[in-house]
Amino acid sequence: MNSIQHIFNKKENNLLSIFFTAGFPKLEDTTKVIAKLSNSGVDFIEVGLPYSDPLADGPTIQHSSGVALRNGMNLDVVFEQLSSIKETNKTPLVVMGYLNQIIKYGEDKFCQKVKDCGIDTVIIPDLPMVEYENHYQQLFEKYGITNVFLITPHTSEERIRKVDSLTKAFIYVVASASITGVKGEVSEEQIAYFKRIQAMNLQSKLIVGFGISDNKTFTTACEYMNGAIIGSAFINSLQKGKEIKTFINSVVNK
């Protein structure tokens, strides 16, 4: 059982995950942000690996990646930072990156570094399922790593059920067929999509991402799914220098 499954054993609903980019706003901020998020009661934290061509990310997260890269962030630095808090951090971490980063860094080296940081869950949005089944599933299992798959409003039922059969942590339910970013209220079309997924009675836990930004969108998402991930809105808050705990409290309405 991985760290994310342990969370669901303690809390099945209204889970809040926060995404941020490692090395943003400043290179040394990675561990500081994690500590403050952990102290704010976030259920798990998604650490983004800065990348020059993040295909799933909107302008806010792209900007944060660019800043982090200019700050000098790379995989060696982020793994060193994450390893330094392995014994003190109590909130599960998920690493989010892209397939080219893994290939360029070295597949086994990447997996070993993830494991050495005490992390057991990754999100690789551009990893094709066929590649996962033919190669990466065995590789990840060798290092005790679980992969999180994404589904969108256009994902077929057949594929969703295949994802469900391969899932050990949670399914990332992309709220809209677009890139990340703050998009306002949850639409009726999105609610119909959530209800359709809910009616499939999948075995996996469901976490919504893309466009979740505040208490209203978080609460609405949690009516249909087990929880939600907030990224762009949090990064905007970070950039403005707002207190992390204040932002989290505003989302969970404390």
pLDDT digit string (tens) for 36-69? 999 999 999 999 999 887 665 678 888 999 999 9
What pLDDT, on the 0 to 100 scale, is given for residue 55? 64
pLDDT at 181 over 80: no
Residue 98 lies in a domain: yes
Task: Report, as an integer, the average pLDDT of 190-207.
Answer: 96
Measured between its terminal Cα atoms, the distance across the chain in Å is: 31
Look at the chain and report how many structural domains it folds into: 1
pLDDT at 122 over 80: yes
Tell me which of 81 and 175 has the higher pLDDT: 81
Residues 6+ apart with CB under 8 A from 182: 60, 211, 213, 232, 233, 236
What pLDDT, on the 0 to 100 scale, is given for residue 177? 61
pLDDT at 108 over 60: yes
Residues 6+ apart with CB under 8 A from 212: 175, 218, 221, 228, 229, 230, 233
What pLDDT, on the 0 to 100 scale, is given for residue 182? 47
What pLDDT, on the 0 to 100 scale, is given for residue 248? 97
pLDDT at 179 over 50: no
Q: Report the alpha-carbon angle 252-25-217, nearest 5.
A: 25
pLDDT at 35 over 50: yes
Using pLDDT thresholds of 50, 70 and 90, give the confidence band for residue 186: confident
Residue 90 lies in a domain: yes
Q: Report the alpha-carbon angle 107-110-112, nearest 5.
A: 110
What pLDDT, on the 0 to 100 scale, is given for residue 37? 98
Contact assessment for residue 231 and residue 33, using Cβ atoms and an 8 Å cutoff:
no
pLDDT, tens digit, 9 for 90 and up, residues 243-253: 999 999 999 98
Mean confidence (pLDDT) of the chain: 93
Q: Hey, which of 51-55, 99-103, 178-182 has the most confident mean pLDDT?
A: 99-103
Parent domain of 97: 14-148+216-248
| 184 Ramachandran zone, left/alpha/beta (phi>0; psi -120 to 50) | left
**Torsion, CA 6, CA 126, CA 182, CA 24, rounded to 10:** 80
Residue 4 lies in a domain: no
Residue 206 lies in a domain: no
pLDDT at 180 over 80: no
Question: 208: part of which helix (H) or strand (E)?
Answer: strand 206-209
Give DSSP secondary structure letters for 37-98. HHHTT-SEEEEE---S--TT--HHHHHHHHHHHHTT--HHHHHHHHHHTTTT--S-EEEE--
Residue 184 lies in a domain: no
Residue 197 lies in a domain: no
Residue 96 lies in a domain: yes
Q: For residue 100, what is the domain's CATH number?
A: 3.20.20.70
Helix axes 232-239, 59-70, angle to 10 degrees: 50
Residues 46, 141, 223, 243: which is the catalytic one? 46
Known catalytic residue at 46 = yes
Residue 196 lies in a domain: no
- Give the position of tokens 């360029």: 104
Residues 43, 57, 158, 185: which is the catalytic one? 57
